[in-house]
Amino acid sequence: MTKIREQFLLDDEVTIESFPKNSCKICLNQRLSGEDKCVQCLDPPSFVGDWYFECVNALGIYHKYKQDGYSIPINILSDLILLLKFRRGKAFKNFAGSLLAKGLFKILEQRGDIYGDISYIVISPKFKRTEENQVTYILNPFMKILRKNGYDIKNISNCVKRLRDVGKNKVKGFKERFKDIKGVHEVELDDLEHKDVVILDDIFTTGSTSWDLARALKEKNAGKIFVLVAGRHWLFDEWPINELYSGGNFSFSYLINYFSRMDYIRDKNKISKVNVIDLVVQGNQIYGSIKGSGGNYDLKIDLDNKILKHSCPDFINDRKRNKKFCKHISIIFIKIRKEKNEKFSCDILNSIYRDLESWQFNEI
Ligand SMILES: [Zn+2]
Ligand SMILES: [Zn+2]
């Protein structure tokens, strides 16, 4: 049985799974033994030609599993990236961005061999300057951490522009992405004097964006270019628990963070204030009654038939579709842990998580 993936602390409280060590240094796919690159990156197709950058480092895997048209993030890292992409509120984005920045800084420090001599940092700009760039939610706290730790790295993102709109990458194939983005970036600086540059991004899919940005940097005499990203996009549309995470159990705090969309650490008070009126755990059935602002809410969890039913508006209108917990469901699990024990509550959460694609989250 495969061991549970090696873990990585973004900060003191949030754990994610590290990226597999034996991956290609360019694209992070599986590499050949004895090589540092995969077959494709050893001999890139003619439309790629040179990669321009030296290597890519990612915090972990970004993967959302599509079910009934909704995205279910497979892990905490994916959830953080999704918060950056799709949440409207700035509070969520700042929270997610600053956690990712903390994690990326750890990589930067751990890999002093490659990131030790960086002079510039850059993100790929949007075509329209007025359009919000979600990567700035990572870049801004990242710059703060760098300064605090004595790094003298200059942000040159404002000196890069996109010459045209390339449309949505999502709908394009591998070759099309490279063809469309080629020549899009322009660096408005005269000479980077062969100094090293790090390209920061939230998601790495084919690498085409970093590839063209690196090309533009090289045209202005950039030294070595390294790519640092939060998530490597996993392109298989399956719930990958068995293949990627078999063996070992996730901890209570990992899974309550995952299911509560990090409310467990982000909004502790919100959860602890919830008043549980009744909680019964009987065999594989859990019943809960929780005091709510508009009357009491019920919770029923049927572990045999893999059904979770709840009645609050937050669950019905938001959390249910991504198979997430609201504060009421979260407090029930915290209470189960308190009244039974860590292992008992943890086993239940693990059994739900591992088989999440079969679970139904419904309105009562
Ligand atoms: Zn590769
Ligand atoms: Zn609720």
Quick: pLDDT tens for 316-346.
999 999 999 999 999 999 999 999 989 999 9
Higher pLDDT, 1 or 231: 231
Find the mean pLDDT for residues 153-172: 91
- The ligand with the least distance to the CA atom of 289 is 2
- Residue 31 Cα to ligand 1 midpoint, Å, equals 7
Q: Which domain holds residue 338?
A: 250-363
Tokens matching residue 139: 């870049």
Give, as one character, the DSSP assignment of residue 162: E
Q: 151 and 37 in one domain?
A: yes
- Residue 314 Cα to ligand 2 midpoint, Å, equals 6
Find the mean pLDDT for residues 248-273: 91
Cβ-in-10-Å burial (0-12, 13-18, 19+) of 168 comes to exposed
For residue 4, the model assigns a pLDDT of 56
For residue 21, the model assigns a pLDDT of 76
Mapped onto helix, strand or coil, the DSSP state of residue 259 is helix
Q: How many CB atoms lie within 10 A of CB 21?
A: 6
Q: 349 and 272 in one domain?
A: yes
pLDDT band for position 1 (50/70/90)?
very low
* 293 found inside a domain: yes
Long-range contacts of 73-76 (CB under 8 A, 24+ apart): 73/322, 74/234, 74/239, 74/240, 74/241, 75/16, 75/17, 75/258, 76/14, 76/15, 76/16, 76/254, 76/257, 76/258, 76/262
pTM: 0.92
Query: How far, CA to CA in Å, does 3 sit from each of 17, 133, 243, 254, 347?
Result: 12, 37, 11, 17, 17
| Residue finishing a domain among 233, 268, 287 | 233
For residue 7, the model assigns a pLDDT of 80
* CA distance linking residue 113 with residue 121, whole number of Å: 17
- Residue 104 Cα to ligand 2 midpoint, Å, equals 33
Nearest to 354 by CA among 232, 204, 247: 247
Q: Is the pLDDT at 238 greater than 80, yes or no?
A: no
- Residue 249 Cα to ligand 1 midpoint, Å, equals 31
* CA distance linking residue 248 with residue 18, whole number of Å: 15
- Residue 231 Cα to ligand 1 midpoint, Å, equals 16
For residue 29, the model assigns a pLDDT of 85
pLDDT band for position 103 (50/70/90)?
very high
* 123 found inside a domain: yes
**What's the CATH number where 30 sits?**
3.40.50
- Residue 281 Cα to ligand 2 midpoint, Å, equals 18
Q: 339 and 218 in one domain?
A: no
Q: 204 and 147 in one domain?
A: yes
- The ligand with the least distance to the CA atom of 324 is 2
Q: 307 and 164 in one domain?
A: no
Quick: pLDDT tens for 22-43.
889 999 887 878 889 998 899 9
- DSSP strand E in the chain: where? 7-9, 15-17, 55-62, 64-67, 70-73, 118-122, 154-155, 160-162, 185-187, 196-204, 225-233, 275-282, 285-292, 295-302, 307-310, 360-363
For the chain, the average pLDDT equals 91
Contact 203, 81 (CB under 8 A): yes
- Residues written for the chain: 364
Ligand 2 (ion): which residues have CB within 5 A? 312, 315, 326, 328
Give, as one character, the DSSP assignment of residue 228: E
Mapped onto helix, strand or coil, the DSSP state of residue 168 is coil
Q: 121 and 202 in one domain?
A: yes
Query: What percent of the chain has a predicted confidence (pLDDT) above 70?
Result: 95
Higher pLDDT, 21 or 145: 145
Q: 209 and 79 in one domain?
A: yes
- The ligand with the least distance to the CA atom of 332 is 2
- The ligand with the least distance to the CA atom of 31 is 1
Find the mean pLDDT for residues 133-150: 97
For residue 237, the model assigns a pLDDT of 65
* 86 found inside a domain: yes
- Residue 291 Cα to ligand 2 midpoint, Å, equals 10
Tokens matching residue 203: 């998601």
Greatest mean pLDDT among 17-21, 116-120, 171-175, 293-297: 116-120
Q: 123 and 43 in one domain?
A: yes
- Residue 147 Cα to ligand 2 midpoint, Å, equals 41
* CA distance linking residue 43 with residue 124, whole number of Å: 26
Angle value at C-alpha 8, between 6 and 13, nearest 5 degrees: 130
Q: How many CB atoms lie within 10 A of CB 148?
A: 9
**How many domains does the chain divide into?**
2
Contact 303, 311 (CB under 8 A): no
Quick: pLDDT tens for 171-221.
788 899 999 999 999 999 999 999 999 999 999 999 999 999 999 999 999
* 242 found inside a domain: no
Find the mean pLDDT for residues 129-141: 94
* 241 found inside a domain: no
Contact 40, 206 (CB under 8 A): no
